[in-house]
Structure 1
């Protein structure tokens, strides 16, 4: 049969593409054990990255409250809920007076383990071989980029405070910065083995999922945190924050899964 007479495959509707993406995300999520990976992400983030962020935020010259402000914003907290989270973290002066150079270096080394875990999941999502051990510089650079974005997100509420321009600037900084971060982070950790154009949908999906998580947190986690803080004290607050970090892990990995699903659906069966 000639190429001219060969029938072209029918175009897929948006509903068919959406169903294909959802099915692919579901199947791949089961394959990579998305729940377990997200719980591991939350544990590593809280144990390795939060202490490092506390030290960096303490030395950062801004009027914000550093990591506490970023968490309260991500959870959509105000009033008693924000106060409960802020109490988890010691004052800036106490952090700077008790932190040593060795302790800071140890925190940075342990923080790289979080990026190693993220890299491993990204490689499983795209079905790639494990990267070589000597590529740890990529994980270190990725950690620096993630910290820089969190600092930017926390600092974005400081300029033009109480002005009409401030909310727009903050949304632009966190949204555009988030898309660029997760686009670059995937490309960096995967060592360029996936074309950049195929990684962009995952970055957009990740930021969209983070936005949805913030709305969900405002409705669910915010009142839950207040009630847990009253009932269980600091332990209750930690449990809610840890649950929110599991949700963050879901969005980071689920966004990459959705991006890969979009690429596969776009290419067709």
Structure 2
């Protein structure tokens, strides 16, 4: 039985192939030396897996928002329901069929909604809302390369973040109008509040393991980019939603909303990751140093490291 003929590779070509790994390592080392921020950012984005993380976060936001809309419509006082409805309409710029569909939920009889939702449905909606908090926490932890927080420490933070997010959404209408003063006050107020909520979100969901100041670049970047996207939303969202409703019914609006949420959540994931990389996270070189477990020394340690440069 004859074997397969062996292919002889010339010695010169074999030597070139043998040297490829070394050349690749040299190129990588040279790129890291010349462009440290870019190479570190690329590596971090691959580690975080921004598309997967952003899609998961968007799905959890959508699955959290829809049940909570019905719960709030059935349990909240009338003035709170009207405030939330007004905020959603103003932020998204809803008009026509999409506006009427959302309004039909909030102007219906709360008693009938309460019977439809029920106590069990309300509890399940509140418990499932923490899935959104957990997804947001995973994004922050991956961006900062932090291990998962213990459940006993994180549970109350999940509920606190959901409550704060609901309150933040509910005040968007009057906030963007500058509480009646106009856009000249509404725009800076919206930006400042967005920076505050993203700054606090990272600190809360990371369990205080990173000091306040290292979290500020990511909060600023996320707030600016998302606020620009939200202010531009009325130019696109109403038209896209109404077109989807006319062509495909409610399923079309679901697809449009979910697509927009995925884009926003991917952008938020990238911005938080960029903020972590901009500040750095290598102990001992003056960058972000995690606070010791149970302590509050994160900000102080970062300050000492920065001052030592």
Partner residue of 1:107 out of 115, 121, 125: 125
Cα separation, 2, equivalents of 1:40 and 1:131: 19
Shift of 1:185: 1.2
From the superposition, tell whether residues 224 and 211 of structure 1 become closer, same or farther in structure 2 (CA, over 3 Å). same
Partner residue of 1:91 out of 100, 108, 121: 108
1:180 aligns with 2:199: no
Partner residue of 1:257 out of 269, 273, 280: 273
SS of 1:225 mapped into structure 2: helix
Shift of 1:112: 0.8
Q: Is the 8 A contact 1:75 1:217 kept in 2?
A: yes
After TM superposition, list the pairs within 5 Å mapping 1:119-130 onto structure 2: 119-130=137-148
1:142 aligns with 2:161: yes
Q: Is the 8 A contact 1:84 1:226 kept in 2?
A: no
SS of 1:62 mapped into structure 2: helix
Cα separation, 1, equivalents of 2:177 and 2:235: 25
From the superposition, tell whether residues 41 and 141 of structure 1 become closer, same or farther in structure 2 (CA, over 3 Å). same
1:209 counterpart residue number: 225
SS of 1:99 mapped into structure 2: helix
Cα separation, 2, equivalents of 1:175 and 1:84: 29
Normalising by structure 2, what TM-score? Answer: 0.68
Aligned residues: 247
User: Pairwise CA RMSD of aligned residues?
Assistant: 3.2
Q: Is the 8 A contact 1:203 1:256 kept in 2?
A: yes
Cα separation, 1, equivalents of 2:108 and 2:171: 20
1:117 aligns with 2:131: no
Cα separation, 2, equivalents of 1:73 and 1:254: 26
Cα separation, 2, equivalents of 1:38 and 1:253: 6
1:243 aligns with 2:243: no
SS of 1:100 mapped into structure 2: helix
CA deviation digits over 1:60-82, x for unaligned, max 9? 44386465544444434444554
Structure 1 unaligned regions, length at least 5: 1-18
CA deviation digits over 1:74-116, x for unaligned, max 9? 4344445544555677736343443333322221111111111
Name the structure, 1 or 2, with higher relative contact order (CA <8 Å, separation 6+): 1
1:30 aligns with 2:46: yes
Cα separation, 1, equivalents of 2:36 and 2:90: 34
Q: Is the 8 A contact 1:32 1:125 kept in 2?
A: yes
Normalising by structure 1, what TM-score? Answer: 0.77
